Amino acid sequence: MAQLFPPSSNVIAPTVLLGAAGVLLLCAVAVWMLFGSAYATGVGVPIEQPVPFSHQHHVGELGIDCRFCHTAVEVSSSAGVPPTHTCMGCHSQIWTEARMLEPVRQSMMRNQPIGWNRVNRLPDYVYFNHQVHIAKGVGCVSCHGRVDRMPLVAKQETLYMRWCLDCHKHPEGSLRTREQVFQMDSPPPTRAEGVARMKSHQVQTINLLDCSACHR
């Protein structure tokens, strides 16, 4: 019987198969790395704003509390952005002619809100409530990072579902005292402290892992 394939096929065929498998593996790794990269997640990438507001200056240097600008964070699902008159409460007295603050002055004169660009955005099918997280002791720094060190704010976490679930499975690592919630330099709790706060703040993981907690 005539031989259909030359003897060299015994070497070529496995090599080709292994090469194809290697290429597929490399493609899978590349996609995985892209999915977690700053290009895809936006983590660490400062967002350009109509006014170069510096949290580093206002929070870190001047010590302004988060709630001075984000007034709704304790009572609403959204933290909110400050209305222009909050900015002008100070800047009608200081830096009154600064060029960078011209959009703020125009906003005040025209009675039109400043068009801030959103830094952290969740899909429409995800329900997130700032009020609940604050009430349970989740500090601002747990999600937003050290904004007191940011000249321009950038997203600090991917906001991927697995990131949320990691916290919902082990919330003890994020729970602070009521006084520490808005402190940027508050240290993360020890495990013993976190477990104790889960009890005192009435945090139960069985509820946090229910789909309806975030998808309604």
Helix, strand, coil shares, percent, the chain, to 5 = 50, 5, 50
Q: Which of 111, 125, 106, 121 is nearest to 50 (CA)?
A: 106
pLDDT band at 96 (very low <50, low <70, confident <90, very high): very high
Q: How many whole angstroms separate alpha carbon 21 and alpha carbon 24?
A: 5
Q: Which of 189, 67, 195 is nearest to 130 (CA)?
A: 67
Q: How many whole angstroms separate alpha carbon 216 and alpha carbon 212?
A: 5
Q: What is the pLDDT of residues 145-184, one digit of tens each?
A: 999 999 999 999 999 999 999 999 999 999 999 999 999 9
pLDDT of residue 2 exceeding 70, the answer is no
pLDDT of residue 13 exceeding 70, the answer is no
Domain ranges of the chain: 55-81+116-213
Q: How far is CA 14 from the centre of its chain?
A: 47
Q: How many whole angstroms separate alpha carbon 82 and alpha carbon 85?
A: 8
Q: What is the pLDDT of residues 71-91, one digit of tens each?
A: 999 999 999 999 999 999 999
Q: What are phi and psi of 46, to 5 degrees?
A: -60, 140
Q: What is the mean pLDDT of residues 35-62?
A: 88
What pLDDT does residue 37 have? 67
